[in-house]
Amino acid sequence: MWNEPNLDELQKLPSLYSTEHVPVAQKLIHMHFFLGGCDWYMAEYSTADRLFFGYAILNGDLDNSEWGYSSLDEMRSVNVRGFEIDRDLHWQVRPAGEVDKIREAMEHQGLWGGE
């Protein structure tokens, strides 16, 4: 993984399940990872489990994009012909409702209500 977050950066994310009460549009996205047409937007993290919770759009597939869990260890192991998942170092924390790709994917699925 290129530009892998360090432990201090990971510990700044809310812990798993701590933002369950927050409406989707207001849930803060703290990190963005990408590779080719794949994007992972992370809202929560468990240091103990090394597990993120966030929104994933794989290969630009809006129909099957979803909120769910992603393993940091699995993300670290991805290598496609020498290319690895990268972290967006210019990412600025913002609500999911302000992330165009999340909003577009959820609208495409008929799940966006602008909460």
Taking only the tens of pLDDT, the chain with its 115 residues reads 999 999 999 999 999 999 999 999 999 999 999 999 999 999 999 999 999 999 999 999 999 999 999 999 999 999 999 999 999 999 999 999 999 999 999 999 988 875 5
Distant-in-sequence, close-in-space partners of 61: CB < 8 Å, separation ≥ 6: none
Strands 31-35 and 38-46: antiparallel
Q: Domain limits of the chain?
A: 7-108
